[in-house]
Amino acid sequence: MKTVPTIVVAAILLASLPSGLSAEEAEVPIIEETSQEIIESLTENIQALRLSSLASELSSIELGAMSDDQFSVLLSEINSLPEIEGTSTGEVGAEYDIILQPGHYKRKTGATGAQGARVSEQRIVAYIVSHAAKKLKDEQFNVLVVPADGVSSPLKAKVFLSVHADGNAKGCVVGPSLAYKDTSSLHAMHAVGFSLARAFGYEYDDFMKDGYTANSAKYYMYPKVNADIMSGLLEIGELTCPEIEDKLIETSPVIASNLAASLRYIVTLPSSEN
Ligand SMILES: [Zn+2]
């Protein structure tokens, strides 16, 4: 990849920003179409993932199976989540297995994230990351959770993933998406998409037809983390769509466990298969 001096990139970005948007807001990519390389590698990767150990570890939500009481308990758990254990800005020189970033985490001003009717983006993605990180730490993986700002750099890891949820003024227009750094393993990216599709009870190819997109796109964190296998940004869905917001809340425990399963699968794969 060609390197462009940072100052030039910053100048271009700032020059093209609509007023009132900070540089970081503008750097959260909006993925509108699936990249050709993701489409071309789909069939082969679906076959491999269906036969992999990952497939048997994934769960699906049974929509409507949750009672109103269970839903309110879960909702208050999401909205009252304490700080995620082990959150830090990271240590330069350390080698992490997995670095996770809940979108906008700990940010109080500027791009603080989307707001749904019941939960904020910061809360729901922090819930998902917190549960996924705990699972992986319990399995002895070296996991770091970083906030949105002040992260040390460069950090080193096998995998970096930032988890966001969308908001849109029009409502109900954007599906889940995955933005990945162009040096990432396509198999790893498909594994994340596959596990998210399963959480919602979809087959991965149907999930893609239903609006899930993946594309190589930039994110402000990518230059701060050297990740051997993949660097990605997952958007789980749109909180400003009431129907989707409820579905995301109900599915969030399963998204967390499937995400943990896909990350475990990715970091333990022999490097020839990534
Ligand atoms: Zn976000």
In this predicted model, what pLDDT tens digit does every residue of 166-185 receive, in sequence order? 999 898 998 999 999 999 99
Distance 44 CA to ligand 1 centre (A): 31
E-strand stretches of the chain: 95-102, 143-145, 155-166, 177-180, 213-216, 225-238
Q: For the residues 243-248, what does the mean pLDDT come to?
A: 96
Q: CA nearest 261: which of 144, 179, 141?
A: 141
pLDDT at 64: 79
Sign of the dihedral defined by the CA atoms of residues 98, 158, 231, 49, in that order: negative
Residue 274's pLDDT is 72
Which of 16-20, 150-154, 162-166, 187-191 has the lowest average pLDDT?
Answer: 16-20
Q: How far is the CA of 121 from the centre of ligand 1 (A)?
A: 7
Which residue did the predictor score with more confidence, 53 or 17? 53
- Residue 4 inside a domain? The answer is no
pLDDT exceeding 90 applies to what percent of the chain? 82
- The pLDDT assigned to 160 comes to 98
175 occurs within a structural domain: yes
The pLDDT of residue 103 is above 80: yes
Nearest alpha-carbon partner for 254 in 211, 202, 207, 219: 202
* Eight-state DSSP code of residue 203: -
Q: Could you tell me the distance, in angstroms and rounded to a whole number, from the CA of residue 128 to the centre of ligand 1?
A: 14
- Look up the domain containing 48 and give its range: 32-273
Q: What is the pLDDT of residues 62-96, one digit of tens each?
A: 877 899 999 999 999 999 999 998 899 999 999 99
Residue 27 is predicted with a pLDDT of: 56
Q: Per the domain annotation, does 8 fall within a domain?
A: no
Distance from the alpha carbon of residue 122 to the mean position of ligand 1, in angstroms: 8
Cα–ligand 1 centroid distance for 243 (angstroms): 19
Name residues whose C-beta falls within 8 Å of residue 221's C-beta, 6 or more positions apart in sequence. Answer: 101, 151, 160, 162, 231, 233
Residue whose C-alpha is closest to residue 261's, from 86, 57, 51: 57
164 C-alpha vs ligand 1 centroid, how far in Å? 4
Residue 112 lies in a domain: yes
> Does 21 have pLDDT greater than 50?
no
Q: Is residue 22 part of a domain?
A: no
pTM: 0.90
Whether 4 has a pLDDT exceeding 50, the answer reads no
Tell how far the Cα of 56 is from the centroid of ligand 1, in angstroms: 30
* 15 lies in some domain: no
Average pLDDT, the chain: 90
Give the number of domains in the chain: 1
| The pLDDT value given to residue 236 | 97
- Would you state the structure tokens that stand for residue 35, as one six-digit string? 């990249």
- Distance, in Å, from the CA atom of 257 to the CA atom of 263, rounded to the nearest integer, reads 10
Rounded to whole angstroms, the Cα distance separating 110 from 238 reads 20
Alpha carbon of 273 to ligand 1 centroid (Å)? 31
38 closest CA partner among 177, 161, 186:
186
Span from the CA of 166 to the centroid of ligand 1 (angstroms): 6
Q: Which is higher by pLDDT, 223 or 21? A: 223
Cα of 53 to ligand 1 centre, how many Å? Answer: 31
- What is the reported pLDDT for 107? 95
Spacing, Cα 271 to ligand 1 middle (Å)? 31
The confidence score (pLDDT) of residue 145 equals: 98
Instruction: Write the CATH number for 264.
Output: 3.40.630.40
Ligand 1 centroid–CA 84 distance in Å is 18
Q: Is the pLDDT of residue 225 over 80?
A: yes
How many A from CA of 24 to the centre of ligand 1? Answer: 10
104 CA distance to ligand 1 centroid (A)?
6
Distance 145 CA to ligand 1 centre (A): 16
Does 136 map to a domain? Answer: yes
Percent of the chain's residues with pLDDT above 70: 90
Residue 215 lies in a domain: yes
Taking the centre of ligand 1 as the mean of its atom positions, its distance from the CA of residue 18, in whole angstroms, is 18
